[in-house]
Amino acid sequence: MYHEATHSFASHGVKLSSVEVDLSAMMAQKDKAVGNLTKGIEGLFKKNKVTYVKGYGKFLSPSEVSVDTIEGGNTVVKGKNIIIATGSDVKSLPGITIDEKRIVSSTGALALSEVPKKLVVIGAGYIGLEMGSVWGRLGSEVTVVEFAADIVPTMDGEVRKQFQRSLEKQKMKFMLKTKVISVVTAGNTVKLTLEPAAGGDQTTLEADVVLVSAGRVPFTAGLGLDKIGVETDKAGRILVNHRFGTNVPGVYAIGDVIPGPMLAHKAEEDGFACVEYIAGKEGHVDYDMVPGVVYTHPEVASVGKTEEQVKALGVDYRVGKFPFLANSRAKAIDDAEGVVKILAEKETDKILGVHIMSPNAGELIHEAVLALHYGASSEDIARTCHAHPTMSEALKEAAMATYDKPIHI
């Protein structure tokens, strides 16, 4: 809202004498939203007669969990079936100590007491770019340091390039192929020592705040998994079968602690399927059809294969693209940066992947998710009536471009 007020209002005829950020009020609104959501979950527990035990749990046996409660006591919870759903934690980097004040994780980045003048983000994945985008739009000078040659390596290469250009236009700087040697706090300043990933001369960089976002790791420490013999892989992920069962009968695992994309909605689908199996029914999650969204501005959303993945499969394919610059709604609201890209099998026209960069791309992607689930062709989307003027029309036009040609470009 602040960024829009300072960058877009005047051209829409809305004049303000001054605009400023009240960070404490902003954080209070955020805390209220989080509080309401978590209280809502507690309300659902009561409604569905779920007993909520607050504390740190660890296995005593495959059917018993000892809980050190937040009140300071201890209780043992017994169950015929136990699901491990402890999620993930921030991946630490050697020699970097996170204090959540000057050197922060994504948790600390959501609770800074002031807008940092200079913010350095270590890691150009989803979380780093999202947090960098937030503070950049609030006025921080943001520099992203990434060891790899590209930002968000899982993203479609063509869309990634457009996305990086968009962030650079917003004054976000990138230092790719760069290794972080050390991060040291000195008073109110953080000093980083860097060197090229391939080796070379060291350089230094100073910041007010450094965000460490080099990925996440399964949170399984202290759960007593070794005590009951639960198997994990080298990355610390719990190994499960298609029913989400571990090698220990009666013990299951879902979400970030098992293989697959570390996304909240993937974990939710795991949970549905796991409980359906426990209840004697059938469950199903297709990890190839889990949408991914980068919540920056513009957003980037995708589902299915990237062009690089399709090429690697050796499948003959077609590509259809449509820019939001030719979309009526995007032009009308003067927010037309972005593109829809569709990949479809050449012979059958079956959609293989959809990638969207635009405002609200995370909302637009679900039509594509549904299309992939039902094995739709690009022609199926192209021949579906879309309301005008909407951003969704760009998906229809990209589908038209895939199997034939669009009409508005």
CB-count burial class (<10 Å; 0-12, 13-18, 19+) for 24: exposed
User: How far from 63 is each of 26, 77, 255, CA to CA, in Å?
Assistant: 44, 8, 20
CA dist 209 → 23, 105, 188, 362 (Å)? 16, 10, 9, 29
How many CB atoms sit inside 10 A of residue 4's CB? 14
25 membership: H or E segment, kind and range: helix 23-47
| First-last CA distance in the chain | 31
CB atoms within 10 A of CB 385: 6
- Per DSSP, helices labelled H in 88-148 are 106-109, 126-137
Using alpha carbons, select from 406, 90, 372 the residue that is nearest to residue 221.
90
Sign of the CA dihedral with 91 first, then 92, 93, and 96 last: positive
Tokens of 38: 């978590």
Task: Pull the structure tokens for residue 298.
Answer: 């513009």
265 is catalytic: no
Token pair recorded at residue 371: 């299309």
Which two three-digit tokens encode residue 26? Answer: 């902003």
Beta strands (DSSP E) in 268-375 are: 292-294, 299-304, 317-323, 339-345, 351-358
No. of helices (H) and no. of strands (E), the chain = 12, 20
The half-sphere exposure of 98 on its side-chain side, counting CA atoms within 13 A, is 19
Question: Which residue among the candidates 7, 242, 265, 388 is catalytic per the annotation?
Answer: 388
- Whose structure tokens read 């679900």? 366
Q: Give the residue numbers marked as catalytic.
A: 388
